[in-house]
Structure 1
Amino acid sequence: MTDPLGEGIAASHLQELRRGTVVLACLVALRAPSYGYALLDSLKARGIAVDANTLYPLLRRLEKQGLLTSEWDTGETRPRKFYRTSAAGDTLARVLADDWVRLDEVIRELTTGKTSHEGDAT
């Protein structure tokens, strides 16, 4: 994608916009246990590109905050740390997703000039 504003301005703002969405995406995706590399691939396949140098510190921070749990799988040649969303993480995911929907509605109204209630029978 080219940057119509030049000097990386659009890229910088897109990065900022996506930063919070990665937290929500991880919390939702990790409702089923996964290890970091598989999560990277899964998110990328869905259009959420995350650098490994961003994801792994994020996973450790979310775990430290009690939003993820982890356990080591040593049954394979190379041990892997599997992450899973905790109950607190699931609660936060629901809060963030609800706000995401609200914000999406507001942005749609601002960009189209129509409120979500226009056309409703009253």
Structure 2
Amino acid sequence: MSKLLNSLITEMRRGSLTLAVLSQLKSPQYGYSLVQRLESSGIVIDQSTLYPLLRRLEKQELVTSTWDTSESRPRKYYVLSDYGYEIFNELKAEWERTSLQLHNLLQGEEKDGLN
């Protein structure tokens, strides 16, 4: 894969990863459980990408976190805030609109023989 293509794919995935992570935080999740849930849906995310993303989402007040120290190994759980729910729903609606528009555009390309 060329450097340019790899860079474009990374750029395209960046926004979709945010939406994917938010979609899984309706119930509290810790980092590893979140990675597993995403991977079971076919979305691969490296921990070196996930944790900075979670910290950014927390700083933006889209998620809140709490520590669970009841187990032998403490875990930090993340969950959507009320504001996070609002933003998630808006992002989801925008994703669906944009996906449909892009799908229609690409279908038209196939019909025109440009594929």
Whose helix proportion is higher, 1 or 2? 2
Question: Could you tell me which residue of structure 1 aligns to residue 40 of structure 2?
Answer: 45
> Alignment length, in residue pairs?
109
| Identical pairs, percent | 45
Letter in 2 for 1:74: T
User: In the TM superposition, what is the alpha-carbon distance from 1:28 to its structure 2 partner?
Assistant: 1.2
Determine the C-alpha separation between the residues in 2 that align with 1:48 and 1:84.
19
Give the one of 42, 65, 72 matched to 2:67.
72
Per-residue CA deviation, residues 10-54 of structure 1 (Å, 9 max, x unaligned), is 222111111011111111101010101110111111111111011
Unaligned segments of structure 1, at least 5 residues: 115-122
What do you get for the CA RMSD once the two structures are aligned?
1.3
- Matched residue SS, 2:72: coil
TM-score (norm 2): 0.89
TM-score (norm 1): 0.84
Which protein has the larger Cα radius of gyration, Structure 1 or Structure 2?
Answer: 1
Give the one of 3, 7, 23 matched to 2:18.
23
- Matched residue SS, 1:92: helix
CA contact (8 A) 1:28 1:90 kept: no
Determine the C-alpha separation between the residues in 2 that align with 1:72 and 1:92.
24
Matched, 1:36 2:16: no
Q: Describe how 1:80-95 pairs up with structure 2 within 5 A.
A: 80-95=75-90
Unaligned segments of structure 2, at least 5 residues: 110-115
